[in-house]
Amino acid sequence: MKAMLLKEFAPIDQNPIELVDLPIPEPGPEDILIRNKVCGVCHTDLHTVEGELPGVKLPIIPGHQVVGTVEKGGENTSRFKKGDRAGVAWLNSACGQCGYCKRGNENLCASARFTGYHVNGGYAEYMVVPEQFAYTIPDIFSDAEAAPLLCGGIIGYRALRLSEIKSGQRLGLYGFGASAHVAIQVAVHWGCKVYVFTRSEEHRELAEKLGAVWTGTSKDEPPTKMDSSIIFAPAGELVPDALRVLDKGGTVALAGIYMTPIPEMDYVKYLYQERTLRSVANATRLDGEELLKIAAEIPIRTTTQSFPLEEANKVLQFLKAGMINGAAILEISK
């Protein structure tokens, strides 16, 4: 099978992901083999390739927003049959036995494994995944429309929940890439007033089309304080900016797996008055199932730009430069 393989970490402008030919993997007893149709491209892929994240297995096939069809299943599988459409997301497995798993926080499981990080992902023609960690994709979505929901959508949904935003309240979104352009549609559906902070004029235009009541940069002064905010951009300097315009008792959720250092802050100016600053770590299968359900009900419309598998390096270069409006998709097979 064709696959884009990362053998060594390097800056993305050095084109470190190589096109190789590998054997088609065999599913284990609990696994399904998926013929990948499309794979979304994520900022986490960029951080993985450039060596900014700890514990990455090398060599690795990146990619964790996969939609494809089931080729076959292991002897203990029953949820999917050959030809069914299936989706694969970031969480590849969890132990199911630890305290985190038992209380519904499998995203925090110490034994959790992640797609395109610990195990080979979707920048390839085929992949295997534990059947219990694969998703059924609603028929309303095409493969390309569904792919961004499987990471940006899921993590954006969890970030919305952890931001504690309520219907009728004011929500700030910092950065407007793949995740935020899904999250805004959920927030508007919930009746929230959404304010988008981004440097890109193109991204601000998309945000307004999707229902933002105000757009500007992180240095601009919005017309009112935010009840909650989510920072999607991996830029620590945005944290004081978000706290500066957060109302008393509000929450800022940090949705990225990676962030540059957060500057030293004046406690009284930025955090006092019961403001909360919290991280969002991965997501659970329940987050994914709830997001796909609400996405089909709205229905969420994803904005995508498609590229061939062989251009994975170029796409990540575009992503790093902020040149992707919406979500980038690698087309793998018809």
Q: Per residue in 62-103, pLDDT tens? A: 999 999 999 999 999 999 999 999 999 999 999 999 999 999
Confidence of residue 176 (pLDDT cuts 50, 70, 90): very high
Locate CATH 3.90.180.10 in the chain.
2-149+282-331
Identify the CA nearest to 250 among candidates 274, 219, 280: 274
pLDDT tens digits, one per residue of 276-287: 999 999 999 999
250-297 pLDDT tens trace: 999 999 889 999 999 999 999 999 999 999 999 999 999 999 999 999
The secondary structure element, H or E, covering residue 129 is: strand 126-130
CATH 3.40.50.720 fits 153-279, yes or no: yes
Residue-wise pLDDT for 24-49, tens only, equals: 999 999 999 999 999 999 999 999 99
Q: CB of 143 within 8 A of CB of 67?
A: yes
Residues of the chain with CATH 3.40.50.720: 153-279
As a whole number of angstroms, the distance between CA 333 and CA 292 comes to 23
Question: 2-149+282-331: which CATH topology?
Answer: Quinone Oxidoreductase; Chain A, domain 1 (3.90.180)
Rounded Cα gap, residues 67 and 304, in angstroms: 14
Alpha-carbon distance of 148 to 329, in angstroms, equals 8
